[in-house]
Structure 1
Amino acid sequence: MQQNPLAPFSLSWSFSVSPSSTTCSTKFHPEPIHPSTSQKYFTLISSKQRSQHGLTGLQKNSNYALSRIIRREAAIQGIGRKAKSKKQRNRLWPKAVLEALDEATKENSWESALEIFGLLRKQQWYDPRCQTYTKLIMMLGKCMQPEQASLLFETMLSEGLKPTIDVYTALVNAYGQSGLIDKAFSTVEDMKSVSDCKPDVYTYSVLIKACMKHAHFDRIGRILCEMSYLGIEYSTVTYNTIIDGYGKAEMFEEMESLLTDMIESGNCLPDIFTFNSIVGAYGNSGQIEKMEKWYDEFQLMRIRPDIKTFNILIKSFGNAGMYEKMESVMEFMEKRFFSPTVVTYNIVIEIYGKVGKIEKMEEYFKEMKNKGIKPNAITYCSLVSAYVKAGSIKKVDSILRQVENSDVVLDTPFFNCIINAYGQAGDLKRMVPAKEMIMNQVKTEYKDDGI
């Protein structure tokens, strides 16, 4: 196949409506939660917990986010105060408790969520519901807290509730996310003994995802055989989950074989998720020709690429040192009115920075800002690393000034990047003030948050 350097692997697509994207998710959509193990009542989200998601930098426009945090913490704190009062412990206002529980889960504080749920169960108006348990167990699964999920399941049984398929699937997910694959399989077996609660395609998709995540590839065949025996048809999610897992494990033969099965089934057609999984698998492994081939194949299937597809192509070409093709993808996106995102520019900036193409890196950084795309901590980290590698330590000072005058959300990797930059350059005079600036910023943030 002849290649045009300005139009690699036939960068084009049909403008017909493509199949809808199908991601590897279950039918549950609870809010993501992150855990802690302390048993104190209504502990506020601490600075340490927030640091897991990245420390906030000099944020000029953070009033909304900050006020939301304060409102949530005030609500939880208020419930906590009432909980300590013997007179009011069992007479809390339903709306206040339920809102506090909802806010705690939304703000990724599983400890607070469980403590509030404990209070909820003590109220005279409390009505146990499987839906509430499903959300909490799913939350604990995402937070890698399988033991807590198991305890919550036992609590539900003690209240006389009959587990639904949703509750069981949430428990399978909780075990699977933490790599407790045997317990996940055992839970599926338990489901089979409960009337009107047989595992369905979503349950098996969760189980498959867990096996792929923890490299239990030998169990996939067993799951698929069991699904067929029970008359459960594979869904697009089922196929996509396995294809994505095989791709990440570089099991390309198995990946392509399953794609063939998917197409031949006639019931589950490949979608954009399938597209990106296969193109990404070959791109990440440096098999550019295979990546290009499958890009064209999916075009023939009339599946349109999305921004993630282009980011995969850009990163793959860049890592392979094929900079002309990388830039041609950027040009193609512009012609097709596909706006690059901060992720797109971060990929290009990092690639040029790593190979010492400072002028090119700066060119795209400038273009990024001219288009109104705000750099983030990842952008600045790439710039700093590139300047240090090129011996341009003075430009790191410039980056710091830009950061101080922006509302960029900083994180721990950025702080480490700055300190390491001055440390590698042996510039202790600059490293100490940088540390002080960072500590002052952190103290200011925590003070503003009332910590």
Structure 2
Amino acid sequence: MASISSPAHPYPSGPNWNRRRLSTKLSSQCPQSTPVRAVDMENAKEKEAKERKEEVNKKTASRKAISVILRREATKALIETKRGPSNSKKLLPRTVLEALYERISALRWESALKVFELLREQLWYRPNSSVYIKLIVMLGKCKQPEKAFELFQTMVEEGCPVNHESYTALLSAYGRSTRFNQAFSLLEYMKNTPDLQPDVHTYTVLIKSCLHFSDFDKVEALLSDMEAQGIRPSTVTYNVLIDAYGKARKFAEMEAVLVEMLQQEECEPDVWTMNSTLRAFGGSGQIETMEKCYDKFQRAGIEPNIKTFNILLDSYGKAGEYEKMGAVMEYMQKYHYSWTIVTYNVVIDAFGRAGDLKQMEYLFRLMRSERIKPSCVTLCSLVRAYAQAGKPEKIGGVLRFIENSDVTLDTIFFNCLVDAYGRLGCLAEMKEVLEMMKQNGCKPDKVTYRTMIKAYSSNGMAGQAKELRNFIESEEGRQLTVLKKAKPDF
């Protein structure tokens, strides 16, 4: 098994820093060989008084800040609990709006709508189109097109001016939920209404929705429609197309879009263009092509960002190019690129695949020391590596870590755990994972059961495999019956 030898440490070593600090401390304690002048004594006193004053001011500011935070948190608690009383109509605008925007950013649509209802009850409330648009966009991301339409109607009823931006938000909500009939009908309505003419953003939003569901025919129709309307694609439009074609392994189409983009004077490639291109070639194992593209983008003056390096690390790691992976890590260290959770997940997975458990565990400890919370992706990499190395006791260590942490587990992690125990022949532990899933509110899916059937079959337990197959068939039959009963008779 290949291994990654002597990786570059992404952070400065501790001992050197400690020696510098110790040296400074010792030098400050050395006695002075010459008498201290009166002026120096006076300056020292002034400096000491100034430092004491600054310390007092800091403590006062800190107490004030804590007081403000506590008052705001208490008011936000009212937002969640108080509905209707007269005092709930006199909340501070800033507090209510902060609570609303926090929920919108977190895509907590139900809670956001409750806060918005409270916002509308305030004595100082005035209808605002931008707030409605933010909420409609959020509902689109949460696959709630009906709620988005209801909010759009409310916006019209309250007298808010509607323009192409608000219609684009509603169109996006339909597109994200595959309601393409409504989305395209809305687009036609906008085209036929002088004050609502769609722009490049409108088309880009709909193109992105179609590409998300790999409906390339609709995309071609939209691009032709844009050309007929005299609307030119923007850099964002081209980036969306490049990214989608790359993920679908449609490299000819991706390169054609990139060439067309470079021919447009008003569309300059940016770091998003570079990252999408590198991800497409690197993810498919075309390392040499990826490197050539990286050089060309750099020569064009496009500077890489942390996502660029994460893509390079991931591509080199999966291709087994460990020396090049180490070179990227050294470059990141040299130019002070801080590691993100994605960076850690990529390198932990690479070390795990290489069978270098010592380095993998070191990076996991370093990740936690940097206060970066591990995710299910991190844990899956650890479990896979330990299963590959034949160390079930180490998987137990991962489970003990989870018990003492607040990591939210998902079905993908449990499927990874089922697969690991199955490969190791730990069938009793594999079966116990189902109970763990139940305790964590996760339901087994087809992947879970198929993985278990494969493990039973490979370990000569044909009876258990057959029993599980019969269970899956009976469950599928039951669900089909429920669906038929629930289907309305038109």
Instruction: Return the TM-score normalized by structure 1.
Output: 0.70
The 3 A distance-change label for structure 1 pair 224 and 211 is: same
Deviations 1:10-32 (A, max 9, x none): xxxxxxxxxxxxxxxxxxxxxxx
In structure 2, distance between residues paired with 1:357 and 1:119: 55
**Given that residues 385 and 417 in structure 1 are in contact (C-alpha distance below 8 angstroms), is that contact kept between their aligned partners in structure 2?**
no
**Given that residues 352 and 358 in structure 1 are in contact (C-alpha distance below 8 angstroms), is that contact kept between their aligned partners in structure 2?**
yes
**Given that residues 246 and 254 in structure 1 are in contact (C-alpha distance below 8 angstroms), is that contact kept between their aligned partners in structure 2?**
yes
**Given that residues 79 and 97 in structure 1 are in contact (C-alpha distance below 8 angstroms), is that contact kept between their aligned partners in structure 2?**
no
CA shift at 1:119, angstroms? 5.1
**Given that residues 176 and 209 in structure 2 are in contact (C-alpha distance below 8 angstroms), is that contact kept between their aligned partners in structure 1?**
yes
What residue in structure 2 maps to residue 46 of structure 1?
A: none
The 3 A distance-change label for structure 1 pair 404 and 161 is: closer
**Given that residues 136 and 173 in structure 2 are in contact (C-alpha distance below 8 angstroms), is that contact kept between their aligned partners in structure 1?**
yes
One-letter identity of the residue aligned with 1:394: E
The 3 A distance-change label for structure 1 pair 347 and 168 is: same
In structure 2, runs of 5+ residues without a counterpart are 6-65, 441-490
In structure 1, runs of 5+ residues without a counterpart are 1-5, 7-62, 440-451
What residue in structure 2 maps to residue 276 of structure 1?
A: 275
The 3 A distance-change label for structure 1 pair 398 and 260 is: same
In structure 2, distance between residues paired with 1:68 and 1:297: 54
Deviations 1:130-159 (A, max 9, x none): 222212211110111011112222233334
The 3 A distance-change label for structure 1 pair 232 and 395 is: same
**Given that residues 315 and 347 in structure 1 are in contact (C-alpha distance below 8 angstroms), is that contact kept between their aligned partners in structure 2?**
yes
CA shift at 1:121, angstroms? 4.7
CA shift at 1:236, angstroms? 0.9
CA shift at 1:89, angstroms? 10
Instruction: Name the one with the larger helix percent.
Output: 2
**Given that residues 79 and 118 in structure 2 are in contact (C-alpha distance below 8 angstroms), is that contact kept between their aligned partners in structure 1?**
no
The 3 A distance-change label for structure 1 pair 92 and 306 is: closer
In structure 1, distance between residues paired with 2:200 and 2:216: 18
Q: For residue 258 of structure 2, give the secondary structure of its aligned residue in structure 1.
A: helix
What residue in structure 2 maps to residue 184 of structure 1?
A: 183
One-letter identity of the residue aligned with 1:291: M
CA shift at 1:168, angstroms? 0.6
In structure 1, distance between residues paired with 2:129 and 2:252: 42
What residue in structure 2 maps to residue 296 of structure 1?
A: 295
The 3 A distance-change label for structure 1 pair 265 and 91 is: closer
Q: For residue 196 of structure 1, give the secondary structure of its aligned residue in structure 2.
A: helix
**Given that residues 174 and 180 in structure 2 are in contact (C-alpha distance below 8 angstroms), is that contact kept between their aligned partners in structure 1?**
yes
In structure 2, distance between residues paired with 1:68 and 1:230: 53
Percent identity, aligned pairs only? 45
One-letter identity of the residue aligned with 1:331: E
What residue in structure 1 maps to residue 313 of structure 2?
A: 314
Deviations 1:295-334 (A, max 9, x none): 1221221212222112111111221222222222222322
In structure 1, distance between residues paired with 2:136 and 2:118: 17
The 3 A distance-change label for structure 1 pair 74 and 158 is: same
The 3 A distance-change label for structure 1 pair 286 and 193 is: same
Cα RMSD, aligned residues only: 3.8
Larger mean Cα displacement after TM superposition, 301-310 or 359-368: 359-368
What residue in structure 2 maps to residue 222 of structure 1?
A: 221
In structure 2, distance between residues paired with 1:233 and 1:174: 23
In structure 2, distance between residues paired with 1:151 and 1:187: 15
CA shift at 1:381, angstroms? 3.7
In structure 2, distance between residues paired with 1:216 and 1:414: 27
What residue in structure 1 maps to residue 374 of structure 2?
A: 376
What residue in structure 1 maps to residue 385 of structure 2?
A: 386
One-letter identity of the residue aligned with 1:78: T
Q: For residue 195 of structure 2, give the secondary structure of its aligned residue in structure 1.
A: coil
Residue of structure 2 aligned with 1:411, choices 409, 412, 421: 409
**Given that residues 342 and 373 in structure 1 are in contact (C-alpha distance below 8 angstroms), is that contact kept between their aligned partners in structure 2?**
no
What residue in structure 2 maps to residue 425 of structure 1?
A: 426
What residue in structure 1 maps to residue 77 of structure 2?
A: 74
Is it true that 1:357 corresponds to 2:330 in the alignment?
Answer: no
One-letter identity of the residue aligned with 1:168: Y
In structure 2, distance between residues paired with 1:75 and 1:366: 40
What residue in structure 2 maps to residue 136 of structure 1?
A: 135
The 3 A distance-change label for structure 1 pair 97 and 267 is: closer
Larger mean Cα displacement after TM superposition, 394-403 or 230-239: 394-403
CA shift at 1:122, angstroms? 5.8
Specify the structure having the higher radius of gyration (Cα): 2
Instruction: Return the TM-score normalized by structure 2.
Output: 0.65
The 3 A distance-change label for structure 1 pair 122 and 341 is: closer
The 3 A distance-change label for structure 1 pair 324 and 69 is: farther
In structure 2, distance between residues paired with 1:73 and 1:234: 43
CA shift at 1:428, angstroms? 5.5
**Given that residues 72 and 103 in structure 1 are in contact (C-alpha distance below 8 angstroms), is that contact kept between their aligned partners in structure 2?**
no
Choose between structure 1 and 2 for higher RCO, CA contacts under 8 A separated by at least 6 residues.
Answer: 1
Is it true that 1:256 corresponds to 2:259 in the alignment?
Answer: no
Deviations 1:22-58 (A, max 9, x none): xxxxxxxxxxxxxxxxxxxxxxxxxxxxxxxxxxxxx
The 3 A distance-change label for structure 1 pair 234 and 68 is: farther
Residue correspondence of structure 1 range 15-414 to structure 2 within 5 A: 71=74, 74-80=77-83, 83=84, 88=86, 93=91, 95=93, 101-118=100-117, 120-121=119-120, 126-365=125-364, 372=370, 374=372, 376-377=374-375, 378-399=377-398, 409-412=407-410
